[in-house]
């Protein structure tokens, strides 16, 4: 019988305990977001639990325990001398500034949605029949938009589109753009606000998301140049697009190769297919790191089941550039390159 290394066992148990605390912490971060606790602390200086409870209309005893958990996890700071808690500028940027470049609350909301869907996920893993995006708890749809929107705000029009060959100049003059798998339309609306001379068409097969996106376009004042419509990646209407964009969705699709071929048909001969995908290496061992852990976990609970629900290729969120290149070139594209990347995404450019 092999002897157990006690030090290794204790180290692993410590990791497991840390993960349990993180799982509970994700829920409590979501609670803090929903109740406005972080927003109330941001810029307010040190506060007691009673002061925060009074400011937010919550229960002081519960807030004291919530704050203790946050301090233990490093999400707020605690001063034993004054028995007060505070939020640093960095913590506030990540936890309280909606839409800011480091805002993380959407990710916590996604985590909460997955626990709501725990039996569906268990069934998907057991049977391989998949779990369609539309069959998840609605909390996932809002959380996904809130999670990706800060990255789009920071990178899409400032770095990603300028990295494409000649695309930004077209958008400034006036171009026709399809945003496929647009979800709540955050990427579509951002492009429309930045390039007012262009026309944007957002497509998603999930009708409630299209309804949300349409309302948001009206709120943002861009409904004159944005139209949202329910459609799939292999049948969305329109031709002669100057650019077709897929943001963090190609790997989820049931028929990514079919989508690639369809995009080729809808593009102008000098058009561009912009594909933004999670950053990943081509080998499993390249992705065994904290970011890879997050993306593989999301892939196991959301992305692969979504594709399998439509008898799909199940590329997964860590498909890697080489596999994506195969999909794109099989669809009839002859030019493919990584235009740029961010800490979490790779930006791929395909041309006919």
Residue finishing a domain among 60, 80, 97? 97
Task: Assess whether 19 and 166 both reside in one domain.
Answer: no
Task: Assess whether 142 and 61 both reside in one domain.
Answer: no
| CB-based contact 342:349 (threshold 8 Å) | no
CATH number (domain holding residue 112): 3.40.50.150
Q: What pLDDT is attached to residue 192?
A: 98
Task: Assess whether 17 and 67 both reside in one domain.
Answer: yes
Task: Assess whether 125 and 80 both reside in one domain.
Answer: no
What is the number of domains present in the chain?
A: 2
Task: Assess whether 81 and 112 both reside in one domain.
Answer: no
In a domain, 257, yes or no: yes
Average pLDDT over residues 74-96: 98
In a domain, 28, yes or no: yes
Decide if pLDDT at 1 tops 70: no
Residue finishing a domain among 41, 70, 97? 97
Task: Assess whether 328 and 240 both reside in one domain.
Answer: yes
Average pLDDT over residues 34-44: 97
Q: What pLDDT is attached to residue 2?
A: 77
CATH number (domain holding residue 83): 1.10.10.10
Share of the chain above pLDDT 90, in %: 98
Average pLDDT, the chain: 97
Task: Assess whether 123 and 214 both reside in one domain.
Answer: yes
Average pLDDT over residues 82-107: 96
In a domain, 1, yes or no: no
Rounded Cα distance between 24 and 137, Å, is 19
Q: Residue 99: pLDDT band by 50, 70, 90 thresholds?
A: confident
Q: What pLDDT is attached to residue 30?
A: 98
The 10s digit of each residue's pLDDT in 242-299 is 999 999 999 999 999 999 999 999 999 999 999 999 999 999 999 999 999 999 999 9
Task: Assess whether 163 and 287 both reside in one domain.
Answer: yes
Residue finishing a domain among 97, 115, 148? 97
Range of the domain at 235: 106-351
The 10s digit of each residue's pLDDT in 308-321 is 999 999 999 999 99
């Amino acid at each position: 019988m092999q002897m157990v290394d006690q030090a290794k066992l204790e180290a692993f148990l410590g990791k497991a305990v840390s993960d349990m605390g993180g799982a509970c912490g994700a829920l409590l971060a979501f609670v803090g977001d929903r109740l406005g606790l972080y927003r109330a602390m941001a810029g307010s200086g040190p506060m007691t639990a009673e002061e925060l409870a009074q400011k937010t209309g919550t229960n002081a005893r519960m807030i004291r325990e919530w704050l203790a958990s946050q301090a233990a996890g490093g999400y707020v700071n605690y001063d034993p001398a004054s028995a007060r808690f505070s939020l640093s500028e960095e913590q506030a940027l990540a936890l309280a500034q909606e839409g800011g470049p480091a805002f993380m609350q959407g990710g916590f909301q996604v985590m909460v949605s997955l626990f709501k869907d725990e039996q569906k996920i268990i069934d998907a893993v057991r049977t391989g029949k998949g779990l369609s995006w539309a069959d998840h708890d609605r909390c996932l749809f809002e959380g996904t938009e809130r999670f990706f929107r800060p990255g789009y705000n920071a990178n899409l029009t400032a770095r990603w589109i300028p990295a494409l060959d000649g695309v930004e100049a077209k958008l400034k003059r006036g171009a026709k753009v399809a945003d496929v798998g647009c979800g709540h339309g955050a990427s579509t609306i951002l492009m429309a606000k930045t390039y007012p001379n262009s026309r944007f068409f957002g497509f998603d097969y999930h009708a409630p998301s299209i309804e949300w996106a349409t309302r948001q376009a009206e709120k943002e004042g861009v409904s004159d140049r944005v139209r949202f419509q329910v459609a799939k990646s292999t049948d969305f209407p329109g031709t002669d697009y100057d650019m077709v964009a897929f943001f963090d969705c190609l790997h989820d699709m049931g028929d990514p190769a079919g989508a690639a071929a369809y995009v080729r048909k809808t593009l102008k001969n000098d058009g561009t297919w912009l594909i933004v995908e999670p950053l990943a290496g081509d080998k499993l061992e390249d992705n065994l790191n904290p970011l890879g852990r997050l993306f593989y976990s999301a892939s196991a609970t959301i992305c692969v089941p979504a594709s399998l629900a439509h008898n799909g290729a199940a590329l997964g969120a860590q498909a890697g550039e080489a596999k994506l290149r195969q999909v794109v070139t099989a669809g009839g594209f002859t030019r493919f390159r990584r235009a740029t990347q961010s800490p979490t995404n790779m930006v791929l450019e395909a041309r006919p």
